Structures are given as C-alpha cells and as structure tokens.
Amino acid sequence: MASSMALACYIIVLGVSVVCWKGAEAQRAFFVFGDSLVDNGNNNYLATSARADAPPYGIDYPTRRATGRFSNGYNIPDFISQALGAESTLPYLDPELNGERLLVGANFASAGIGILNDTGIQFVNIIRIYRQLQYWEEYQQRVSAIIGSEQTQSLINGALVLITLGGNDFVNNYYLVPYSARSRQYNLPDYVKYIISEYKKILARLYELGARRVLVTGTGPLGCVPAELAQRSSNGECSAELQRAASLFNPQLVQIIRQLNSEIGSEVFVAVNTQQMHIDFISNPQRY
C-alpha cells in the first residue's frame, strides 16, 4: 500500500486549506474517502489481509494500541479533525457510528483500494471507491432520518471532504508483478492518462452527491516508500520508474481538477501536491 514518509509536512499544507475554510462556519462535518493513507479502521471489520490491527501500528497512539490506522499514531484525517476543532471521524463500519455521532462525519476509506476496481485484488475484501460513495449515499439517508432532508443537504454541502487515491494503482496494480495485466495493456504514460480520466469521474460523482469543499491529494514519492526500496533498490536509491509514475500522475491530476472547477464554475476541488512536499521534507529537513 502507498505509504506516507512525511506526514507532518503533509499536514502543514492541508492545515492551511482547513484554516481557510474553517472561518466560514464554526463547525462542519468531515468526510474521508480513499486508501490506507486515510483509513482509520474500516478494514478491521473486513476479512482482508490489508489490516493495521497489530503492532507496530499504533505504538504512538494515545492508547498505545493498533487502531486500524496505517500509522504509528494519528493519521492525516485525525490532524484535520483537530484543526476543525472536532473529534476524529469514526470508520463508517464501526457500530458506534450512530445517532448524533453521525453528524460529525464519517471515514469511508479502505486500505488497498485504488482508482480502478482491479487495484488491490490480492486483498480481496476491501471497500472499493464506488462502494465508498454508495456508503456515503446510505449515510445521507441515515442522517436524514435524524435531522431531516433539508438540514442533511446543508450538512453535506457545508462539509469538508478529503480524498486520497492513486498510489495503489501503481504499486498494487501496474507494478505489482512483472508484466502485470495493466502494464501489458498500457505503456506508463497511457496508463496514467487512463487512471486520471477515471479519477475525474469519481470526483464528479462526489460533486453530484453534494461535496462542495474537497481536498484532493496526489501521490507522494512512490519510489521512496520503504516497501518499494526493499523490493526494487540495491543501493538505497529511490525507484526511478515509480518516481516517474508519480511525476506523470500529479501534474495531470492538477489539470483535471482545474477542468472540473471550470466546468462547475466554482473552486470546489483543491489539489494538494504531496509529492513535492515529501521531496522538500527529505531534501530540506532543517526547515521542519
């Protein structure tokens, strides 16, 4: 699974976006979609190998126990919730997510998924992105039963949304094995164009379902992820091919976000350049 190497750096820029939006309303719901970088426990409720329910995960969490977050402690959504002055959102599959706790928001993310449905097939039972969106529709129906449809629409439109996808479409699909099905079907530039076009459909669907403030993260430096270094590097250098994949993906993601905002006529989607932030963190650690 794609992994964050500089979470603190990531939060700095995300935090700026959160603060900018926070001023408009004193309190807002927060919804999370995506993969292991933002999953906070949904996979604990699934029969899958993509789980973070044992040490060393959670060793720096307040309880010192693994929570399902693919992190030693808090993860990205936790820090955003703190910036919003709210409690962390619960995993949507958590049975404790009911009643008024629903009004805080929900986390629908599931480790191992990607933009494409065939990404992460080795993990079998994970919540693929369109299923996450179906769960959000179900969530809205549940909330409507509590506060009514009009207030639910207001809650959804005023919410902050975070979506993190893309890394697994490379490390757990295109480059998963030599001569993978997708690598035989597409050369890398064409594959990137394909998954970007599919990502645009996902973002458009988020908007259709009511999202009006969406942080969209790119991939980090995929070739520098520890698991990829272990498999692909003999001298400790980052994988050039995976770095190339990220360098192709991120600018095109920014481009489709601009296109979507132009089509909508509003700055709904905000691109977060995580690759550059990670590289800056690694290259200039003294700044942090």
How is 112-149 classified by DSSP, letter by letter?
A: T--SSTTTTGGG-S---HHHHHHHHHHHHHHHHHHH-H
pLDDT in tens, 28-41: 899 999 999 999 99
For 283, the domain range is: 7-38+75-287
pLDDT in tens, 161-200: 999 999 999 999 999 999 999 999 999 999 999 999 999 9
What total of structural domains would you count in the chain?
A: 1
Q: Using CA atoms, how far apart are residues 18 and 38, in angstroms rounded to an integer?
A: 16
More confident call, 155 vs 226 = 155
pLDDT surpassing 60 at residue 90: yes
Residue at 219 is within a domain: yes
What is residue 238's predicted lDDT score, i.e. its pLDDT? 87
For residue 277, give the CATH number of its domain: 3.40.50
pLDDT surpassing 60 at residue 12: no
pLDDT surpassing 70 at residue 15: no
What is residue 229's predicted lDDT score, i.e. its pLDDT? 84
pLDDT surpassing 60 at residue 42: yes
pLDDT in tens, 117-158: 999 999 999 999 999 999 999 999 999 999 999 999 999 999
pLDDT surpassing 90 at residue 22: no
Q: Is 69 helix (H, G, I), strand (E, B) or coil?
A: strand
Residue at 135 is within a domain: yes
Residue at 60 is within a domain: no
Residue at 190 is within a domain: yes
More confident call, 241 vs 285 = 241
pLDDT in tens, 186-196: 999 999 999 99
Mean pLDDT for the chain overall: 89
The model's pTM = 0.89
Task: For CA atoms 134, 144, 43, 194, give the dihedral sign.
Answer: positive
pLDDT surpassing 90 at residue 7: no
Alpha helices in the chain (DSSP H): 7-22, 76-83, 129-147, 149-157, 168-169, 181-185, 188-208, 226-232, 240-264, 274-283
